[in-house]
């Protein structure tokens, strides 16, 4: 099969902050797609500048970090156009902190693009049954260990475009939760990357 027909994971590189976190997470997520689904998968992480037109060739994008998110004019325009034209962005706060710099600044960017649109989604949203069954967003070890704001976030937020999730936003630090060598999953009683499969399947089918 042609590589262009395969699902590929794209990490968004933005000029502010630290975009290159959780470096083992993509290969772990891609391994889970191979293990559990029949989705054809390109196993190489794709890194694309948010300000580049290359973003419009990407079906699924990931954005994360610890620090300030301040989009340039071109980054903001591309983000808006990408999402409104059917793109999917999974944004994850690496701090797991509602009041942290990444969280505040990313949510501010979303509010500048789509005022008031970033809202909690219900825990019976179809994303929680897209492949595996969940009764809401799975809790991360960072939350249970009191990392960040010491709060278990029992929700995810999203920007909906015509009732479709265009931006899925997490304060739960899934990036760190899934940031380990995929070969170590055999030590887990329950594979904690299963929800990543739901996110991708929902993004590709909704």
| 46-67 residue pLDDT tens | 999 999 999 999 999 999 999 9
- Give the pLDDT confidence score for residue 159 in this predicted structure: 98
At residue 2, the pLDDT reads 36
Judged against a pLDDT cut of 80, whether residue 183 lies above it is answered with no
Per-residue model confidence (pLDDT) at position 173 = 92
Higher per-residue confidence, 191 vs 133: 133
CB contact set of 120 (below 8 Å; sequence gap of 6+): 155, 156, 157
pLDDT for 187 beyond 70: no
- Residue 26: give the domain boundaries: 3-205
CATH of the domain at 49: 3.40.50.12140
16 phi, psi to nearest 5 deg: -90, 165
pLDDT of the residue at 1: 29
Give the whole-angstrom CA distance, residue 7 versus residue 10. 10
Q: How many domains does the chain have?
A: 1
Q: What is the pLDDT of residue 4?
A: 53
The residues with which 168 forms a beta bridge, in sequence order, are 90, 158
92-106: average pLDDT: 90
- Tell me the two tokens of residue 123: 């825990």
């Amino acid at each position: 099969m042609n590589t262009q027909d395969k699902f590929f994971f794209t990490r968004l590189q933005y000029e502010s902050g630290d975009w290159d976190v959780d470096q083992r997470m993509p290969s772990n997520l891609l391994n889970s797609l191979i293990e559990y689904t029949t989705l054809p998968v390109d196993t190489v992480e794709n890194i694309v500048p948010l300000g580049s037109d290359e973003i419009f060739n990407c079906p699924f994008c990931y954005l994360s970090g610890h620090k300030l998110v301040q989009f340039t004019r071109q980054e903001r325009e591309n983000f808006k156009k990408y999402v409104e034209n059917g793109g999917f962005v999974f944004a994850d706060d690496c701090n797991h902190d509602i009041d942290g710099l990444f969280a505040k600044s990313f949510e501010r960017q979303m509010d500048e693009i789509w005022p008031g649109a970033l809202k909690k989604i219900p825990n019976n949203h179809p994303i929680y049954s897209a492949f595996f069954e969940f009764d809401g967003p799975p809790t991360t070890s960072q939350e249970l260990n009191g990392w960040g704001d010491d709060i278990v976030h029992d929700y995810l937020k999203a920007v909906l475009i015509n009732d479709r999730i265009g931006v899925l936003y997490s304060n739960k630090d899934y990036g760190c939760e899934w940031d380990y060598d995929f070969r170590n999953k055999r030590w887990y009683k329950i594979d904690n990357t299963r929800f990543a499969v739901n996110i991708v399947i929902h993004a590709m089918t909704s």
